[in-house]
Amino acid sequence: MLARNAESLYWIGRYVERADDTARILDVTVHQLLEDSSVDPDQASRTLLRVLDMAAPDATTALDVWSLTDMVAFSRDTHGGCSIVEAISAARENARGAREVTSTEIWECLNTTYNALPERERASRRLGPHEFLSYVEGRAAQFAGLADSTLSRDDGYRFMVLGRAIERVDMTVRLLLARVGDSASSPAWVTVLRSAGAHDTYLRTYRGVLDAGRVVEFMLLDRLFPRSVMYSLRLAEHSLDELHHRALNRVGATAEAQRLLGRARSELEFLPQGVLLETLEERLAGLQKTCADVGEALALEYFHSAPWVAWTDAGRNGSLIIEEGEV
């Protein structure tokens, strides 16, 4: 597979997941602001912007539901973060550049979604942000279904799944980082679960008992819930193992991305019981750094094309000389 196609598929997976997760998080926050008058809109908005790594206006500018929605959903100038519109646009551009390795159904899904954004934005300004956010969530689900049902399980599919898994780890970690320091009984933990689409599954798993320690444990360590950090790390590891096209190496991990993912998964998997909350902030920051480092390692291993080779005096005295740019 060409490096540019592999990179495009990887970023399609990341950008679609980012748009979906951002829409989920913003949808829950908007409902909270509209339904609970005790919540300070400005403070809640700034917390969300910090979670999404978006620059917030100075303290003299008060934020509310609509200004928050404009920044997180519709803005094309987010100063560091990535709005929903920007993420969908980037996914569509990557798909356009990799048409030969994506299915027609996937391209049509992303292209149709992109072209409908202006109309959906106008509708949301009349009917409320939920109109736009539910549309994005539905289209992301449709994309995931089409990818699973129309793509061969080849390297292209693995790169897309790898990108989706790494982005999911990063977004889940951001959600939890925003709640570090909250009391064990804070209603904000329900917001975390709802933002990740995990509320019902959590209640069934823990028989309705809401506790900060259990919420963190569920979102980080649960092996069965597809949006947990543990599940996503294992999925990313599996995808990377398949990309290497070889059985388990006798000397362990030989690639940097593989080593980073394995270390992060092992540190979570073999944690002593009861210590998760004690070092939560440090552990989440470490996971966030791991996501960034894995992205850089994958770029070096798969996406950066090798320098071209300049051959001179070919055949002179039966020898070949390679000039600068040797690979």
Contacts (Cβ under 8 Å, ≥6 apart) of 266: none
Long-range contacts of 261-264 (CB under 8 A, 24+ apart): 261/233, 261/236, 261/237, 261/290, 261/294, 262/237, 263/290, 264/233, 264/290
pLDDT at residue 326 in the model:
38
pLDDT tens for 24-58 read 999 999 988 888 888 899 998 998 998 898 988 88
Q: Return d(Cα 70, Cα 93) in angstroms, integer.
A: 22
Predicted local confidence at residue 120, as pLDDT: 95
CA distances from 287 to 13, 136, 226, 265 (A): 19, 27, 17, 10
- Start-to-end C-alpha separation, the chain: 19
pLDDT for 327 equals 34
Q: Give whole-number Cα distances, 307 to 170, 183, 252, 304, in Å.
A: 32, 54, 29, 9
Q: Is 123 exposed, middle or buried (0-12, 13-18, 19+ CB in 10 A)?
A: middle
CA distance 246 to 2: 20
The whole-angstrom separation of Cα 305 and Cα 327 is: 10
The enclosing H or E element of 321 equals strand 321-322
Question: Which run of H or E residues covers position 29?
Answer: helix 3-35
What is the pTM assigned to this prediction? 0.88
Do 193 and 202 touch, CB atoms closer than 8 A? yes
Flag residues of the chain having pLDDT under 70: 78-80, 246-254, 305-327
How many CB atoms are closer than 10 A to CB 57? 14
